[in-house]
């Protein structure tokens, strides 16, 4: 009776639904995701997910939160394997950013789409997960940009610039196997990242 007999309670249905949703999304794109298909994959009835997610948008938000976790992991992994110097670290973070976009294209693009969850109420737990995991990802990029200055401007503009650049590159040119833009081969990201100046440590 340990494994073979199906209990009335699934045990960890929430996790199973998120996992199933990620699989569906990576295979068939965002439109392939449905509550009923996730339920079927998890071996429960079509209405069971309603007890764990406040509707489809909440499941989508939970999938996105899981995406952010993998996203952070990809950037951290790249940074760990690189030299500790600020420029090497920033390059590595961007490489991890782009790696994730290439290897999880569907989820990546879905993460940065306009979602209906703007005015909608998500479950408390999903909302917390989403806030925490997305901020963690952003903080990684932010920290990597912190040592640098850009364009004679102070403060925040460096990370906005780097984020815009790497994000645009990822959105436009990172599909699996894509190597051509409308006007020729796509250069490496390191070729388009402008040279940045290190901040001066001491101010008068």
Binding site for a copy of itself (CB under 8 A): 29-31, 105-106, 109, 112-114, 116, 135, 138, 142, 150-151, 153, 155-157, 159-161, 163-169, 171-173, 175, 181-187, 191-195
56-80 vs 86-103: helix crossing angle, rounded to 10:
140
Residue 52's SS3 state is: coil
Q: What is the 3-state secondary structure (H, E, C) of 110-151?
A: HHCCCCHHHCCCCCHHHHHHHHHHHHHHHHHHHHHHCCEEEC
Cross-strand pairs, 149:
197
Q: Which does 45 bind (CB under 5 to 8 A by kind): DNA, a copy of itself, none?
A: DNA
Residue with Cβ nearer a copy of itself (47 or 192): 192
DSSP H or E run through 197: strand 197-198
DSSP H or E run through 198: strand 197-198
Q: Which does 9 bind (CB under 5 to 8 A by kind): DNA, a copy of itself, none?
A: DNA
Residue with Cβ nearer a copy of itself (44 or 136): 136
Which residues, 56 to 85, sit near DNA by CB under 7 A?
56-57
Residue with Cβ nearer a copy of itself (30 or 147): 30
Q: Which stretch binds DNA (CB under 7 A): 27-35, 104-112, 121-129, 165-173?
A: 27-35
Residue with Cβ nearer a copy of itself (43 or 168): 168
Q: Do 76 and 96 touch, CB atoms closer than 8 A?
A: yes
DSSP H or E run through 47: none
Q: Is 48 in the site for DNA (CB under 7 A)?
A: yes
CA–CA separation, 5 vs 11, rounded Å?
A: 13
Least separation in angstroms between residue 70's CB and a copy of itself is 18
Q: Is 44 in the site for DNA (CB under 7 A)?
A: yes
Binding residues (CB under 7 A) for DNA: these are 7-11, 13, 33-37, 39, 44-48, 50-52, 55-57
């Amino acid at each position: 009776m340990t494994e073979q007999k199906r209990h009335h309670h699934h045990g960890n249905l929430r996790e199973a639904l998120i996992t199933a949703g990620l699989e569906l999304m990576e295979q068939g794109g965002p439109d392939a995701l449905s509550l009923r298909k996730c339920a079927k994959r998890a071996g429960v009835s079509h209405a069971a997910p309603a007890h764990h997610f406040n509707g489809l948008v909440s499941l989508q938000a939970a999938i996105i939160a899981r995406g952010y976790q993998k996203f952070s992991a990809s950037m951290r992994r790249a940074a760990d394997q690189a030299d500790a110097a600020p420029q090497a670290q920033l390059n590595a973070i961007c490489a991890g950013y782009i790696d994730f976009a290439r290897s999880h294209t569907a989820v990546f693009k879905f993460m940065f789409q306009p979602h209906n969850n703007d005015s909608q109420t998500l479950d408390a737990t999903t909302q917390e997960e989403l806030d925490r995991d997305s901020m963690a990802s952003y903080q990684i990029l932010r920290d990597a940009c912190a040592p640098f200055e850009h364009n004679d401007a102070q403060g925040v503009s460096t990370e906005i610039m780097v984020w815009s650049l790497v994000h645009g590159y990822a959105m436009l040119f990172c599909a699996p196997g894509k190597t051509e833009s409308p006007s020729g081969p796509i250069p490496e990201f390191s070729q388009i990242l402008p040279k940045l100046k290190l901040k001066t440590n001491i101010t008068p």
